[in-house]
Structure 1
Amino acid sequence: MPGLSAGCRSVASVTSEPTGRAAGPYDAAFLPRLRMTFRATREPVTEPVSKFGGQPVWLAAPAWPVHPRSGEPLVFIGQFRVPGEEVRLAYLFLHEEGVVMGGDTPEDGEAVVLVQPGGRRPAFASIGSPGTQGRTLWRWGPDYTEVPVEWLTELSPLPPELDEAANRAAAFSRYLRGDGPDVEYPEEDWPRDFLGGEAVYPNNHASGIDSSWRFLCQFEDRGEGEEDPFFLNFGYGSGFLFLSPDHLEGRFLWDCG
């Protein structure tokens, strides 16, 4: 598939690297901070690259999570390359009910991050029987029908002014948590979809995420506009993906202001 391979090389051309200095979800575990943008695929993606939608590109045995009580398969949201030398993916699955996504807490089983190869399955995750497969990410189509989608995630350097705006927003959150000096509220806009750097939390806290987790990426919800690539509902907020220090286990949190 010449076209797909060329596209995958483009997606992987810029990377963020582990800093080794993060002590929790408020620190920069990966640098530099990179903008995430989305590009439609011409063919189904079969390579281990970051993407939203489509089908998981499993790097070990398939393991589709299901709802811990109903047994309904969770929706596949996307997969994310884990920074580092080894090719490793973090797969995100969310429960959806009435277009509300992701549950109430990071460990209620309605948001599951799996890491392959060699990853640890979260203790709260319920995995379906062999052959289980659920829905994938979608967008609204004609007459409000759900149209499955697949978008490659491209990483690119942020303009310095946007990177600095995100740093100022994170610094203001540190001040409100009592973890940093008094700083002014940033008036400028900061990026909403990015990997690496410090996260920008709508309510200044990573609720339910303790100091054992490292921030990987964040992305805002979308889907009401005709040009939006897919539908995600976090209450007009953002989703946040975290990794363990050894990059073998993951968590997900959504939050809105």
Structure 2
Amino acid sequence: MTVSEPVPLVFVPADGAVREAVTKVGGQPVWLEEPQWPLSRETGRPMEFLGQFALEGGRLALLFMTGDEGEYVDGTWEPEGGENALVIQPGGRVPDFVTVERRAEGPSAGPDHLPRHIDSAEHSGEHSNEEEDRRPWQFLGGPGVEPHWLQGDETPGDGWQLVVQLDSGKLPFDVNFGDAGVGYAFLSPDGKEGRFLWQCT
């Protein structure tokens, strides 16, 4: 497979609530099937909706992570820790380490923002060495798009495809990916399950 060079991405405010099955961060999820809102393994409360990302065939990957809500919950960085979830709709499969409820709306990281690609002149990195700083740290995935890892390679397994890489310093609202952290969302080889993890400096 040919490796594609990722295009740097920012998110800009939407004119209002986004109700279409498009890539966005913030707001409320656009459900394509029965709602499947993930719950924190530790607290049992609804996770925070971070965003949704368009997949091939009109599907969506909906990203959730346990928010602080006044108390620290550990393990949001772990792909199978039960404190984050990447829900695939339609036709997805909720993994056994995630509990969901039929809730259409819930906690959100912030208001709706839509993606905008930026050119390299607008891009500046904030991570590690000079060579890596010239690479984008926030971009959409897809066939042939490889993640830029802050630490070591943590791809969930063979054939898993990057959906999106998110830079906590370039998101339009606060998310806890640790110190200058980067989040990575992946789609399983059969296209039915998602995984999310983050790394920090």
Question: Is TM > 0.5 for Structure 1 vs Structure 2?
Answer: yes
- Give the structure 2 partner of residue 10 of structure 1: none
Q: Which of 101, 109, 133 lines up with 1:137 in the alignment?
A: 109
- Give the structure 2 partner of residue 92 of structure 1: 63
Q: TM-score, normalised by structure 2?
A: 0.82
Q: Is the 8 A contact 1:73 1:132 kept in 2?
A: no
Q: Which of 50, 64, 80 lines up with 1:107 in the alignment?
A: 80
Aligned length: 191
Q: Any idea what SS the aligned residue of 1:186 has? A: helix
Q: Structure 1: which amino acid aligns with 2:158?
A: S
Which is greater in Rg? 1
Query: Distance between the aligned counterparts of 2:20 and 2:75, measured in 1?
Result: 26
Query: Distance between the aligned counterparts of 1:101 and 1:45, measured in 2?
Result: 31
Q: Structure 2: which amino acid aligns with 1:246?
A: D
- Give the structure 2 partner of residue 116 of structure 1: 89
Structure 1 unpaired stretches of 5+: 1-20, 23-27, 139-148, 166-184
Q: Which of 33, 44, 47 lines up with 2:17 in the alignment?
A: 44
Q: Is the 8 A contact 2:6 2:136 kept in 1?
A: no
- Give the structure 2 partner of residue 194 of structure 1: 139
Q: Give 4+ residue runs of structure 1 displaced > 4 Å after superposition.
A: 98-102
- Give the structure 2 partner of residue 175 of structure 1: none
Deviations 1:177-215 (A, max 9, x none): xxxxxxxx82652112112321111113217x2325222
Query: Distance between the aligned counterparts of 1:131 and 1:202, measured in 2?
Result: 34
In the alignment, structure 1 residue 229 sits paired with structure 2 residue 160: no
Kindly report the root-mean-square deviation, in angstroms, between the aligned alpha carbons of the 2 structures: 2.9
Q: Any idea what SS the aligned residue of 2:131 has? A: coil
Matches within 5 A, 1:53-72: 53-72=26-45
Q: Is the 8 A contact 2:53 2:163 kept in 1?
A: no
Q: Is the 8 A contact 1:96 1:102 kept in 2?
A: no
Q: Is the 8 A contact 1:101 1:233 kept in 2?
A: no
Q: Structure 1: which amino acid aligns with 2:26?
A: G
Q: Structure 1: which amino acid aligns with 2:167?
A: E
Query: Distance between the aligned counterparts of 1:102 and 1:133, measured in 2?
Result: 24
Structure 2 unpaired stretches of 5+: none
Query: Distance between the aligned counterparts of 2:42 and 2:132, measured in 1?
Result: 44
C-alpha deviation, 1:108, in angstroms: 1.1
Q: Is the 8 A contact 1:100 1:234 kept in 2?
A: no
Change (3 A) 1:32 1:118: farther
- Give the structure 1 partner of residue 182 of structure 2: 238
Richer in helix (by share) = 1
Deviations 1:210-240 (A, max 9, x none): 32522222111138xxxx6211121211000
